[in-house]
């Protein structure tokens, strides 16, 4: 039987038709007939005419989400309840010298963390070009690592599930493994963490190549 309910990378660098074609071939032994977009490559920058999610309202949010989505699995507000979800993030206990914001219920987020409380943290606002430059076209862990360093109650930084077992946490679901949170707790640098990803990334890229329909970004 064909199942499309499988773990997927936060950033796959593939289009939906490429991903679906890969799953159909690997699981079902057949492929799609795809009408490709003219003049599109994986280097093309495209801004959606409508927001893909209530809490992903702008192209800036799309660029930052792969780096800031991890805050959903932590004690920090990820900016839900503001007009800049995943661009604003912080916590009431972070230094008061940081950017100040107060999450409030809104149409896209009627309940979330720290509503009505003053939070202190980061505001990564900017033009699309400026925000893309902040990410350098990659997942950035520097904000997550710095937030953990500044957070006073380290044992409460990562949200635990009801079972109390971090293995089943939402943070690990976002990260795709049980390793990233441990690496952050151990104080590993972003460079060290990303170096640990390379063997699996090389393997993934080789598989991905077989199903590309458009010119690649590298």
Give pLDDT tens digits for 87-103: 999 999 999 999 999 99
Give pLDDT tens digits for 106-137: 988 888 899 999 999 999 999 999 999 999 98
Q: Residue for token digits 């409460």?
A: 156
- CATH top class, domain 46-209: alpha beta
Q: Which residues have a Cβ under 8 Å from the Cβ of 64 and sit 6 or more positions away?
A: 86, 87, 124, 131, 134, 135
> pTM for this structure?
0.90
Domain range summary for the chain, segments of one domain joined by +: 14-44, 46-209
Judged against a pLDDT cut of 80, whether residue 30 lies above it is answered with no
How far is residue 72's CA from residue 170's CA, in Å, rounded to a whole number?
A: 8
Give pLDDT tens digits for 167-199: 999 999 999 999 999 999 999 999 999 999 999
Q: How many other CB atoms sit within 10 Å of the CB of residue 56?
A: 18
């Amino acid at each position: 039987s064909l199942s499309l309910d499988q773990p997927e990378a936060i950033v796959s660098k593939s289009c939906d038709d490429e991903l679906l074609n890969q799953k159909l071939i690997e699981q079902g032994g057949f492929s799609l007939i795809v009408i490709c977009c003219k003049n599109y490559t994986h280097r093309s920058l495209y801004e959606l005419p409508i927001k893909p999610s209530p809490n992903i309202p702008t192209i800036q949010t799309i660029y930052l989400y792969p780096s800031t989505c991890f805050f959903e699995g932590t004690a920090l507000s990820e900016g839900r309840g503001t007009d800049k979800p995943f661009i604003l993030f912080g916590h009431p206990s972070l230094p008061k010298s940081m950017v100040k914001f107060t999450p409030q219920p809104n149409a896209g987020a009627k309940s979330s963390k720290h509503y009505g409380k003053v939070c202190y943290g980061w505001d990564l606002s900017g033009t699309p070009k400026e925000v893309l430059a902040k990410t350098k076209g990659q997942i950035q862990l520097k904000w997550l690592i710095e937030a953990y360093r500044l957070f006073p109650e380290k044992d409460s930084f990562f949200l635990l599930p009801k079972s109390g077992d971090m293995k089943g946490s939402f943070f690990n679901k976002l990260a795709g493994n049980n390793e990233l949170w441990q690496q952050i707790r151990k104080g590993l640098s972003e460079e060290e963490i990303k170096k640990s990803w390379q063997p699996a990334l090389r393997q993934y890229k080789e598989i991905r190549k077989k199903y590309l329909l458009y010119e690649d970004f590298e």
